Amino acid sequence: MGIYGGIYILPNGTKPKIIEKNLKSEKFKDFVKTFGEHRNGNWYLINSRIMTKYLNYLISLSEKREQNTERNNYNEA
């Protein structure tokens, strides 16, 4: 997994909508403001290493939520 020239390679089974939703969130904007380099014109530069770690973290959270949901559904049945 990684970002290369603006391309992020998703692991099998990852839904692109999850990534898109998180990249449009206020939480992501705060992340970029915290870890990115401020540039003129009020924009930020963030390197691919940090971005990859962030996206991998989001994917792992999403997978854990999905597992918990499946477990809860199984227990309710």
pLDDT at 3: 53
Asked if residue 31 lies in contact with residue 22, where contact means CB atoms within 8 angstroms, the answer is no
CA dist 47 to 6, 14, 32, 37, 77, Å?
10, 22, 10, 9, 46
- Tens of pLDDT along 10-43? 777 778 888 888 888 888 889 888 988 988 888 8
What residue segments make up the domains of the chain, in order of their start?
2-76
Catalogue the E-assigned strands of the chain. 2-4, 7-9, 37-39, 43-45
Length of the chain: 77
The pTM (predicted TM-score) of the whole model is 0.64
Is the pLDDT at 73 greater than 70? The verdict is no
